[in-house]
Amino acid sequence: MPRGASTRDVCIDINHGLSNISTTLSLNRKCSVYRIPAHVRELDKAYYEPRMVSIGPYHRKEKHLQAMEEHKWRYLRDFLSRGLVNETADHRMRRYTDMIRRLEPEVRECYFESTDLDSTEFVAMLLLDASFIIEFFVKWFSGEDDPLFSVSWSLPLLLNDMLMLENQIPFFVIERLYDISTFDPDRPEDAQPKPSLIGIIMDYLRGIEDAEVRHDRENVHHMLHLYHCCFVQPLELPRNANEEGGNANNIGNPFLFLPKMIPCATQLREFGVHIKKNKHARSMFDISFRNGTLEIPRVAIEEMTRSRYMNLIAFEQCHDNGKYLTSYAVFMAYLINTAQDAILLQRYDVIDNKLANEEEAAKFFSQLHACSYINYDEHYLAPVFRDINTYCRRWWPKRRARLCHDYFASPWAVISFLAALIFMGFSIFKIVVMILSVFFHFHERK
């Protein structure tokens, strides 16, 4: 405390700070749109920041995204033009705005970081961004021509931007706006009902029907969460999977603290582990290890998936939802430690590397690992970590690995070993011949 500062002055200063805290900020609120931590963003911010379109308040003022604003206003115009003939676009806009304004307090609580937008700007932003997302997928679903669809590189970039953790608006805003809108005023009464928005988006993402999506649609937080529900499907693990995985509450488990690493692919080969593609995998997470055989589903890695995976992992870090992709990324990062590991897994048809080279494939998973945190005692691949390390600690795999490392690490080492083996065999043969000759000579003299 500086000299001369009284207790009263300090209390006034503290109370001033307390009064500046937003009344909507609460530890109990249900946040869903988070900020990427600075130490994670510094690894490579390009994968966390939109390149074409801004959705939500966090990136709306960035200059390189302003070119897309014209398309967003065009989409809003098209969205307002859809509806009943006896309702004007102005009336529809008022109806949509009133609905969003009623949701504003709930929407603001979904953002981890408060925004300086006033109520008018905030509601206008929500209407503009929600109508853009709806129109984007409805135009695609209806087969409409649009300038954005004619440029082949724009669609992957737009989808990547819509699947970034910081670039979101709450999904209930989008869905309610879609539900109160009318897209086909001439639809007969006995026609099929309007398709659900989730069904349209899932059709775009996966080419499947809405009924096949295994999640509660009422609990979708935003577009990234919907994508997570689609692609990160939890496996039906055995009932005792947690016990096998080393639950920290299981006092009798000898592996109370499970291994945090596994050998890389080239080292596993030295231990005699057979790595092969899982041809009957239920999902990309269906990894198993039995009797010295490691089965892994085939996975394609390309530049566009890097950003999506990194944002999915960032989403898993913010929510208690199993962290399947995080666990998978950590496992693959240990397995592919060098370019040689990537070459080996390509040979086994486990990875389909669409990146520039094998070094980039190893970097792909190391980047995912760098922003990942898991509880090594409880994640879904904990039993696989345990079983691999248990196998590699056995007597013969350890001796085999030592032999491979010392004598078969390179072609020249193999040649030297074979030459030494031949020389040893020849020496033994000479000794045997000498012994036999002495033996027969001794018997002849008798």
Q: Does 405 fall in a domain? A: no
Q: Which of 231, 258, 286 is the last residue of a domain?
A: 231
> 229 pLDDT exceeds 60?
yes
C-alpha 27/C-alpha 88 separation (Å) is 43
What crossing angle do the helices spanning 358-370 and 339-347 adopt, rounded to 10°?
A: 110
Per DSSP, 193 falls in state: P
Residue 160, pLDDT score: 94
CA distances from 275 to 239, 266, 359, 402 (A): 26, 10, 20, 19
State whether 306 and 260 are in the same domain.
Answer: yes
Q: Does 17 fall in a domain? A: no
Closest among 154, 163, 128 to 49, alpha carbons compared = 163
Q: Does 334 fall in a domain? A: yes
State whether 224 and 281 are in the same domain.
Answer: no
Q: Does 11 fall in a domain? A: no
Q: Does 227 fall in a domain? A: yes
State whether 217 and 131 are in the same domain.
Answer: yes
Determine the residue type at 166: E
Residue 249, pLDDT score: 37
Mean pLDDT check: name the lowest of 137-141, 300-304, 397-401.
397-401
Which comes out higher in pLDDT, residue 126 or 144? 126
State whether 63 and 140 are in the same domain.
Answer: yes
Segment 106-109 long-range contacts (CB within 8 Å, at least 24 positions apart) = 106/170, 107/169, 107/170, 107/173, 108/24, 109/24, 109/26, 109/29, 109/30, 109/31
> 172 pLDDT exceeds 90?
yes
Q: Does 10 fall in a domain? A: no
Q: pLDDT category, 83, cuts 50, 70, 90? A: confident
Sign of CA dihedral 185, 188, 190, 194: negative
Q: Does 21 fall in a domain? A: no
DSSP code per residue over 266-283: HHHHHTT-EEEE-TT-SS
The domain in which residue 423 lies consists of 410-445
Q: Which of 178, 199, 231 is the last residue of a domain?
A: 231
> 156 pLDDT exceeds 60?
yes
Residue 29, pLDDT score: 59
The domain tally of the chain equals 3
Structure tokens at 435: 């012994």
State whether 259 and 313 are in the same domain.
Answer: yes
Sign of CA dihedral 232, 238, 240, 243: negative
State whether 396 and 333 are in the same domain.
Answer: yes
Residue 287, pLDDT score: 96
Determine the residue type at 118: D
Residue 3, pLDDT score: 57
C-alpha 334/C-alpha 253 separation (Å) is 25
> 27 pLDDT exceeds 60?
no
Closest among 226, 159, 170 to 196, alpha carbons compared = 226
Q: Which of 211, 231, 251 is the last residue of a domain?
A: 231
pLDDT, tens digit, for every residue of 246-291? 333 333 343 444 568 899 999 998 888 999 999 998 889 999 999 9
Burial class of residue 44 in the structure, from the number of CB atoms within 10 Å of its CB (0-12 exposed, 13-18 middle, 19+ buried): middle
State whether 254 and 310 are in the same domain.
Answer: yes
Structure tokens at 89: 């676009």
State whether 146 and 48 are in the same domain.
Answer: yes
State whether 356 and 256 are in the same domain.
Answer: yes
State whether 416 and 353 are in the same domain.
Answer: no
Q: Does 77 fall in a domain? A: yes
State whether 290 and 421 are in the same domain.
Answer: no
Residue 402, pLDDT score: 55
C-alpha 424/C-alpha 134 separation (Å) is 77
Could you tell me the maximum CA-CA distance found in the chain, to the nearest angstrom? Answer: 128
What lies within 8 Å, CB to CB, of 24 at 6+ separation is: 105, 108, 109, 114
**H helix and E strand count, the chain:** 19, 5
pLDDT, tens digit, for every residue of 370-409? 888 888 888 899 999 999 999 888 866 555 555 555 555 5
Mean pLDDT check: name the lowest of 38-47, 53-62, 119-128, 418-427.
418-427
pLDDT, tens digit, for every residue of 38-52? 888 888 889 999 999
Q: pLDDT category, 174, cuts 50, 70, 90? A: very high
Contact yes or no for 262/332 (Cβ under 8 A): no
State whether 185 and 304 are in the same domain.
Answer: no
